[in-house]
Structure 1
């Protein structure tokens, strides 16, 4: 049987799990909800892996390139000939790669949650929400057209809102869910406007046709959309910038990054699924999906480059001062996604477009495994010590040997130490930056050193630093059961092994990639800088001492500013409350109350007064009506006599 005949089952299985557990889970599957949801995801994952095997290995490249296949396509809403919103499935190297990432990481989260979330009152609801999110993300990566991707984009937003606010009885979780939803909605408005501009000027929503028309320099659509537009900027530039705003919001890029750290209020496995491996890389995937169009608009690629580079450096700096282990990982995620975005953007300065595209998606691929491993490892630690604060940890390596070992592997991977996966993908990004923009390269080099420092600051603070807290083995579950340990082992193997995959051979901008060769001499400076970062973390945090406090005191206000996340939250609150609420909302409320409501109330008052004045005419008294009747006759007679004369 051809693998394309069952491809629709991959997203539909999690949807079926959501419907089944959402409607009947709390009543009929109270204890078995997790097992049922996990089995459904296991089937979807096996189908995704088999699809990848068939697509890349069995079918392989045709005429030197991997073909784009649309095994399913249905015209849902047709506006005019050639313009319709379709529901379909697109298989190409990028989407097949994302199928593997989403299903594997989601499966690991499902399995880990069997132990982590055991005993939760809304256990079945939790697994229903996981199914909805997985369906939404799979629908997003398989979309055949830009409006279909927008539909699933919004479904991903709803799913994340439900999962971040899962603990609805905690005010902080509710506030975090609302914050994530509102911030990303503002960004998604830009995305929607960009979609409408692209569709109007290209005459289609389909990715393939849209890219073909907007990259053909001889086509009428290209000439119209690249001409001078609003404020001297071409229509295409505005459209692509607006689409990128949507991606920047979903991927928590500067200055729309403020929602992601607060989103850590959700259950820790949710953080591994949504905010490390899948949802937040949707922005990178969106730019990659429209990459041929972005390549002809260098100005917007430069914008993407600098947004990515600034986000990577800024988040890395902030991560060095955070004390909540999940927030450290949250800022680490922002930083790593910044790497992926500036890798896509730097070809604006040169011609290594294929290198940037492949390097970005390769880092997306490797990052999914070692970052989800970091979050699940953090979840195991939190499950053990019942706190997120590093100050209450230390010395856990002997009490949690498996978590310690796997967490160390993930830290080595993200720090770019060979032969772990992060080394290979990060080196490709650095090579792309070196070939196209030296300033971005040196900034990325410094950021990689900061990454090694804050990750090993986290590692030493958790597993070394000081004597372990009281032994929890006497009244506690230790590292958890097999369901919490198995995902750590699998992801640790992936964090070591996936870097050796010849990724460029399978995923490239034109479908026919060639290996990216990195000289050994080129890798020496990044590895040395990473080792320096690890060394500094060792000196400051390997054993408990006063050096970190003395350093913080010496830095004074700078350290406080960084620890307060450069006061971005306070700035947003100032703009929201002082400017928008006081400067716009209050005057609008006054106008609504005194002018709009006042006008309506005035009309009502006049109506009431007139009614009071004339209501005696309808008294119900026969005598009064007789009087009015004869009075009217007399008046008419008088008028008749007057006019007759």
Structure 2
């Protein structure tokens, strides 16, 4: 079963990628979609068997891989409760995205290539989440980076798509360098990259106290802190955290199903999964955890502020993803790993729902993405409207505190906010307030999207409105399935992720130290803390309703009253411009110097080209002596004889 789960997407990639032109687009679609539906069903069977059933950790060997000195390990699949959760998230969303893409991409001439890329992306993500060692994880880590490059730049004829793909690839390479340093550090400290070996040794206090690094005796806790810090740098890029987030909004240049796949369940959650998987060593690095809390809270706040003023429907949802990832990292930083994974789990349903719903909107309005050119679509595409409303309710966390009534986001996001308040981390207060403010902004920009897109008078041209239509069943059915998850995933699975069934569910798949009681403490926070997300959610909804339904002149008046703040948020805190000046232009200056001066003048001027040029100059001068006149040659011979006699006379005097 596990072989089929992992390798059927790879088989679909080869069939669609290598035989797509022979088989045709329809066959490529059917093969890849069938394989993904089978994989999704098997993933749910594995989930109920492993996480909800026996709870056994299964290691499935594939083959012997590397044996170099002290580095020895096999290629194997590590299946536990954490892996089972990731399998259903990745494969369920991927299967629905595959099916949805049949309708969304039906006019694209390169459908076999597109479906091959989707299956390849899924396979690489499965390699990542089923790895039993850091090197195998890094293989999947790089694989999803390559696949994301191919998918974001799928429409490579567009310069903006090619630029976005390159940007995503380069920014992730920055994070991957840090991740590699972290992997090297872990191997140097633990003498292994196998998870079971690392975790067993990390649990031995004597081993940490007498740790060696490259034959030097080091403070084990400090060394682990450095290793964790570098591992987190990799997570920052892959999961689009503050400073390394700039690739994520530009990734919207890819087709909308790609946005759903990358931003909902796969690539951006890889960093969250990695930190959770490495929880036994992160528990030994409180300083690194504090860094994670600060970066996560800052990301949640930053992305929420930018989302307030964006006009592209997909970019609003993209910044929402960035913000929600910040919530997940705050949970990991305060030690509430299961709360972070719970939000990853619920987020996959409602964020995929919102992205695919946005794709249905874009499909209906002739590929228009600017919300200012929409409006009044509710009566034209009612099913899409209600699916988007359900996704928005889940994203904003609608629910009644201290009850079982609520959407998926209510249970997972509120749990993170309560964990941040209950934590004893030095940055927990900072994180709590930023998360509450981010919840307010999330409610505002989410309902702003709904009101601008579906309510009010139509602002599109008459020609576009004439062609507005509801999507077909192949696109609507995946939305309905995701909507069910967005409503019920929280209330059904909350006891397993962070409630009374926690121990029976995880069975050691997530490690927490003996002093980590964050989930217990989170249940005892004051009542006002539990109600604060609900209050700010309502405030955000009321403000959005006031601004975009009741008094629609207010947003423009505020933008005119605070032009600098509006431009600051609209330009995403000017991070792209700052990086362009600091890194891009400086790189061009350095490159131009080495090109013009180093290569052109020094290497070519004084090196091979310079020597060749001097030889040519000398031969050109010598050639001039070959005139063909006899008296010129006689004169030259006379000069030579005179020079020889003179040399012999001077030599005889010595």
Give TM-score, length-normalised by structure 2. Answer: 0.86
Alignment of 1:14-413 (within 5 A): 14-60=9-55, 67-81=56-70, 83-219=71-207, 223-224=211-212, 234-346=222-334, 353=335, 356-386=336-366, 387-413=368-394
Indicate the SS of the match to 2:375.
coil
Aligned residue in 2 for 1:542: 549
- Per-residue CA distance 1:270-318 (angstroms, 9 max, x = gap): 1000122211011111111111101111111111111111111000000
CA contact (8 A) 1:216 1:222 kept: no
Whole-angstrom distance in 1 between the partners of 2:419 and 2:167: 35
Pairwise CA distance, 1:606? 5.5
Aligned residue in 2 for 1:431: 418
C-alpha change, 1:319 and 1:227, in structure 2 (3 Å) is farther
Indicate the SS of the match to 1:394.
coil
CA contact (8 A) 1:228 1:234 kept: no
- Per-residue CA distance 1:404-458 (angstroms, 9 max, x = gap): 1111111011111111000000111011101112231121111111111110111
Aligned residue in 1 for 2:567: 560
Q: CA RMSD in A?
A: 3.2
Pairwise CA distance, 1:175? 0.8
Pairwise CA distance, 1:605? 4.2
Aligned residue in 1 for 2:649: none
CA contact (8 A) 2:349 2:482 kept: yes
- Per-residue CA distance 1:475-507 (angstroms, 9 max, x = gap): 647221111110110000000110021232224
The reply to whether residue 420 of structure 1 matches residue 407 of structure 2 is yes
Indicate the SS of the match to 1:32.
helix
Indicate the SS of the match to 1:121.
coil
Pairwise CA distance, 1:556? 1.9
Pairwise CA distance, 1:218? 0.6
Aligned residue in 2 for 1:457: 448
Whole-angstrom distance in 2 between the partners of 1:186 and 1:499: 35
C-alpha change, 1:228 and 1:337, in structure 2 (3 Å) is farther
Indicate the SS of the match to 2:483.
helix
Aligned residue in 2 for 1:631: none
User: Residue 8 of structure 1 is aligned with which of 3, 16, 28?
Assistant: 3
- Per-residue CA distance 1:133-189 (angstroms, 9 max, x = gap): 000001110001001111111110111111111111111111111111111111111
Aligned residue in 2 for 1:63: none
**Structure 2 spans left out of the alignment, 5+ residues:** 400-405, 624-654
Whole-angstrom distance in 2 between the partners of 1:427 and 1:299: 25
The reply to whether residue 503 of structure 1 matches residue 509 of structure 2 is no
CA contact (8 A) 2:179 2:234 kept: yes
Indicate the SS of the match to 1:234.
helix
Whole-angstrom distance in 2 between the partners of 1:451 and 1:230: 45
- Per-residue CA distance 1:181-216 (angstroms, 9 max, x = gap): 111111111111221121122111101111222342
C-alpha change, 1:112 and 1:463, in structure 2 (3 Å) is same
Indicate the SS of the match to 2:376.
coil
User: Residue 432 of structure 2 is aligned with which of 430, 441, 445?
Assistant: 441
C-alpha change, 1:135 and 1:232, in structure 2 (3 Å) is closer
Give TM-score, length-normalised by structure 1. Answer: 0.88
C-alpha change, 1:227 and 1:564, in structure 2 (3 Å) is farther
Q: Paired residues, what number? A: 605
The reply to whether residue 581 of structure 1 matches residue 588 of structure 2 is yes
